[in-house]
Amino acid sequence: MKTSEIPKSGIGPLQGVNVLLSGSATAGPYAATMMSDFGANVIDMESAIMPDTSRASNDVFEQDHRNQRGIAVNVPTPDGQEIFYKLIKNVDIFIESSKGGQWKKWGITDELMWKVNPALVIVHVSGFGQSGDPAYIKRASWDGVGLAFGTITDQNGFPEEPMPIGPYICDGLTAMSASWGALAAYYRAMQTGKGESIDVAQFEIMLRNQSGTPYKYFQQGIIPARTGNENSIAACFRNFKCSDGYIFIGFSGPGLIKNALAFFGFEYGTEDFPSSFPWVSAGTKGAALITEAIEKFCQERTIDEVEQEMNKLGVPCSPIMDFAMAEKNSHYIAREVFTEWTHRDGRTVKGVNIIPKMKKNPGKIWKAAPGWGEDNEDVLSELGYSADDISALYDKKVLNKA
């Protein structure tokens, strides 16, 4: 697809922003996904040696690379670097995900990129960052590594064993931070003409997304204990088993705690249920009493029955949803959370719609994810390469395609 074939309007607020992506899996690429979902012109530059690892599961690649064009270039080669520098001359944001220092190892530095494009915003996404202890920088990372090194895994599971968390929470939050950082730097570059380099480390993003938990450790020396299905602060802020499945109940809130306790036969403001907090503190006698009461209540009723009663009381709750339940849910349907589009092979596929929802200038799915190297000819011809030039690059294995 040529640039001229991209819709001129109506595909989102980032229309006119040009992005080059080079990375695989999720943490880096998903940052560009959020931009292409909202109208940015994203070129996904895969390796000519091996396709993006997420292509092994086509579901992942199709969901996360829609609205993008795709090329496959062997960047470390001299010809590959020539293509790369021609590409970044015309883009606003470059996002790469790899081990720390990988691009510098190839001889491609931020400073060399800025010589070509002084206003370029460069985003480096890695597990451990571009600087720090040399023993860590070049380490490989996956979602689970970021969770483990970022202290999240240690806080989840049961006292005897931590549990992995999925799917791809670390990758998703890392990508969101990378996308936010890129757009913040782009806003500044538009004002000053000077680019920026952003160093995104997965483990740091995990720390920053824990709200006050790290702060509490540094002030009070408290390391959070694993509590399984229990909340460490409030009782009955967890999952409960109903006769036909599970429901989450968040038994806490200043406007509801008095009536909610009364519903189960308890009085707020007594010795067992003091009015110090708008919840029942975990580990207390009151916690044991209300937990037993809610467990019995749920076990004797269906999810729908429990949900209706909790909603009447104003107690936050939700069935533990799976995809089949979500697809049929009236609220999911009303908000068009899922949508269909046409795969490049002509099939109709279904996945998650563009989120968040914008009223005046929403994003739009206008193109399926590209095949490996699908747009080599169109993109390189726009850079000034002739058909013979492109053919020679295939012969030299600088370019590749499916």
Q: Is 95 within 8 Å of 43 (Cβ atoms)?
A: no
Q: Work out whether strand 245-250 and strand 237-242 pair parallel, antiparallel, or are unpaired.
A: antiparallel
- State the alpha helices, DSSP H only, in 40-122: 58-64, 78-88, 102-105, 110-116
Question: Residue holding tokens 């782009």?
Answer: 186
Q: Is 274 within 8 Å of 210 (Cβ atoms)?
A: no
- Please report the DSSP string for 264-285 in residue order: TT--TTSSSS-TTSSBPBTTSH
Question: Residue holding tokens 């249920």?
Answer: 273
d(CA 84, CA 88): 6
Q: Determine if residue 318 is left, alpha or beta; phi over 0 gives left, psi from -120 to 50 gives alpha, anything else beta.
A: beta
- State the alpha helices, DSSP H only, in 193-329: 202-208, 213-220, 257-263, 285-299, 303-313, 323-328
d(CA 173, CA 181): 12
Kindly name the residue from 171, 199, 378, 388 that is annotated as catalytic. 171
Spatial CA neighbour of 12 closest among 42, 37, 33: 37
Spatial CA neighbour of 151 closest among 225, 207, 213: 207
171 is catalytic: yes
d(CA 38, CA 361): 9
Residue 304: count of CB within 10 angstroms of its CB? 13
Q: C-alpha 370: how far from its chain's center?
A: 21
d(CA 202, CA 142): 9
Can you give the C-alpha Rg of the chain in angstroms? 25
Spatial CA neighbour of 84 closest among 390, 380, 401, 396: 380
User: Which residues are tagged catalytic?
Assistant: 171
